[in-house]
Structure 1
Amino acid sequence: MSRSSETDLFAADAQSDLFGAEAAPTYRPDPDKVRARLHKILAETRAADELPWGRASLYRTIFPQMTLCLPEEEGAQLRFEFEAEMERLKAA
């Protein structure tokens, strides 16, 4: 037996948003700014003479993630160049 006066708690749009606010806008990074930052990091890596420079661990984490904001081929090329520099520094 179904009661028509009760709200269906499991209905798809019974409670679309708890506070009635619209969803937060999605952040999209500016590819030109990301590209400039990646080239700056790559230049810093190329200028280093040895691996234990201050930001190596940070750059190993963020560099690949940042390249995902660029076209796939460009990002892959930058990751390749960065990894080559990191290998050079390991060998030093």
Structure 2
Amino acid sequence: MTAHTPDMFGWTPAQGDLFGDAAPASTASQVDPDEVRGRLHGMLAQVRAAEKRSPWPPETSRLNQLIFPPMANWLPAEERDQLRFEFETELKRLNVAA
């Protein structure tokens, strides 16, 4: 049924479909593994450089704990697992791990 066709009760929508009959556009963007790798290594370097506490405020620490593992999914499995392990190890060293 199109936006201009009445339903079985004769009702026609006041406004048509926002996108009409157009095919949905792809919203997925290409992820550059090198960019992801750089960001993860940057986060890891910051936490390694910290001596006694997290290098970030508590909210940022929690956010980084949440986003680091899924960001690593864009990398090959062996590299992903190693980076996750190293990040978690450093957080535990600083008593930041959740």
Q: Does the pair score TM above 0.5?
A: yes
| Higher RCO (CA < 8 A, seq sep 6+) | 1
Q: 1:58 pairs with 57, 60, 63, which one?
A: 63
In structure 1, the residue matched to 2:78 is 73
Equivalents in 1 of 2:93, 2:47: separation in Å? Answer: 10
Runs of 4+ in 1 over 3 A off after TM superposition: none
Preserved CA contact (<8 Å) 2:46 2:55: no
Partner Cα distance (1:30, 1:70) in 2 = 10
Give the deviation of 1:52 after TM superposition. 7.1
Q: Which residue, out of 72, 77, 94, partners 1:89?
A: 94
Q: Comparing 76-85 with 41-50, which one deviates more in the overlay?
A: 41-50
Percent identity of the aligned residues? 49
| CA offsets 1:5-30 (integer angstroms, 9 cap, x no match) | xxxxxxxxxxxxx6222222222311
Paired letter, 2:56: W
Question: How many pairs does the alignment contain?
Answer: 74
d(CA) in 2 for partners of 1:53, 1:86? 11
Question: Any stretches of 5+ residues in structure 1 without a counterpart?
Answer: 1-17
**Which whole-Å deviations, capped at 9, do the CAs of 1:11-57 have from their partners, x for residues lacking one?**
xxxxxxx6222222222311010000000000011111213731211
Task: State the TM-score, normalizing by the size of structure 2.
Answer: 0.67
State which of 26, 45, 48 in structure 1 corresponds to 2:47: 45
Alpha-carbon separation, structure 2, partners of 1:32 and 1:81: 18
Post-superposition shift, 1:73? 0.8
